[in-house]
Structure 1
């Protein structure tokens, strides 16, 4: 059975926008691995998700990445899960073993490694904008990086307070989002503000220190208004996290070397440009 290709993919709704197939295909080509990584559209219900996952296991998939809106469904249907996935309350990786499904969350290590690419001293104070599912992963990543003080702010304060109570964070009102940046070492936007088709993120970055790091986890557009306004600071765009979070899945399913480098990023930038012109 040596010639049987390895099968993996990314599941979501919609999923055609995903750049993950480009990442995994690039790594498979580099390693001369006989494998395919494909986008899998699954309508946004748990029943649909369960049905498709059963089919993928039956035809021999090694595993899948999971994106919106199925990350919570992925954790629910798993037979076992990593501590990271349990803490995040969501999974972006499902590995199909002979007798069970294992869930993990590589968003946490993906964001942590994206920060490490830019600095080996992330500082003591991080500020997170937003309190959704993405914020949970970022919180865990900042804790992994050793950041002692994490402040969260959200347009709906109640959601921020719920996360603060769970993870031991500080909370400020949304209209204080600029003031809280005074002395912050790291600012992370996990909201949809600034994404293509969404309103801009209005925030005054002047209170930040000159060496502060500013990250936006989305990659559409790649240079969000926040990152454009942060040209005098270290910035992390959404591709950095995307590339790093893909590493565990590729290594688990394809058993090959997954290297995040400028060549891979240039391939993704070329693909983004191609999509913008078609």
Structure 2
């Protein structure tokens, strides 16, 4: 007997915590469904989506690196995500059975910042990949001040800033932080397990600056450790991960996840 399922795809995929998150919510709600993780290489994307289109039990998937841009070529783009964010992190089966791409990263990124006011204040973002696209999309709607985008490829970063209508500048990795930076976001893989740390001098930041690292493996990145040592407000990668997962869960299973158990979920993820 089969049952509905969703999954997360990527390469690598072993590090993904999405099955723990979605499994926690499925158990809490008593839903007879499951959530899997599936290794999918770049060359396998066409076959993967062709097979899932024919599987009536498939409810959709989350997408992690490196497929957030390439997956757009294999699903319907009914919300013009390509023309907006330019990358997807979620695919859901629409009522007519067609896989549709969307992006829940932007909402997941914004949720922990709802209590802060960055209107008109300078922001620095590190990275220019799929996650950075969602973050810049959100920042453009938060009415922030100038955005400095740090990336190895400065030209790519400059084009990305312009595409979201953000004023600011593109600089190479390693450029010093502007002292008036109110929000620093690491949207790169730097600091992730197996990757070099993101080395930045946070001493120049003001006492009210916020440091946000979307990396969640490890949760305590060198960047966040340095920020906390300075007494700055921080947001870790689990905040965005759980936030974007909650939006995707409802698309997959048709019901909102029970967020009153977030403390228990966080303890489970950290354990």
Query: With structure 2 as the length reference, what TM-score do the two structures score?
Result: 0.90
- Listed as ranges, the matches of 1:179-218 within 5 Å are 179-180=177-178, 182-218=179-215
1:143 is aligned to 140
Question: Displacement of 1:161 after TM fit?
Answer: 1.6
Q: Tell me whether 1:58 sits opposite 2:58 in the alignment.
A: no
C-alpha RMSD of the superposition: 1.9
What is the Cα deviation at residue 214 of structure 1? 0.3
CA deviation map 1:113-158 (0-9, x unaligned): 1322xx3323422111122222111111212323232221223322
Corresponding residue of 1:229: 226
| Residue aligning to 2:254 | 255
* Separation of aligned partners in 2, 1:147 and 1:12: 32
Report how far residue 17 of structure 1 moved. Answer: 1.4
Counterpart CA distance in 2 for 1:139 and 1:210 is 24
Change (3 A) 1:86 1:267: farther
Q: Check if 1:18 corresponds to 2:19.
A: no
3-state SS of 2:188 partner: coil
Q: Which residue of 2 aligns with 1:163?
A: 160
Provide closer, same or farther for how the CA distance between residues 50 and 172 of structure 1 changes in structure 2, counting only shifts above 3 A.
closer
Name the residue aligned to 2:267: 266
Name structure 2 gaps, 5 residues minimum.
Answer: none
Which one of the candidate residues 75, 80, 89 is aligned to 1:78? 75
Contact 2:77 2:102 (C-alpha < 8 Å) held by counterparts: no
Taking the aligned partners of 2:14 and 2:205, their CA distance within structure 1 comes to 37
Q: More deviation in 4-13 or 237-246? A: 4-13
Runs of 4+ in 1 over 6 A off after TM superposition: none
Aligned counterparts of 2:21 and 2:83: Cα–Cα separation in 1: 26
Retained in 2: the 8 A contact 1:85–1:103? no
Q: Which residue of 1 aligns with 2:107?
A: 109
Query: Deviation at 1:175?
Result: 6.5
Provide the aligned length of Structure 1 versus Structure 2: 263
- The corresponding residue for 2:216 is 219
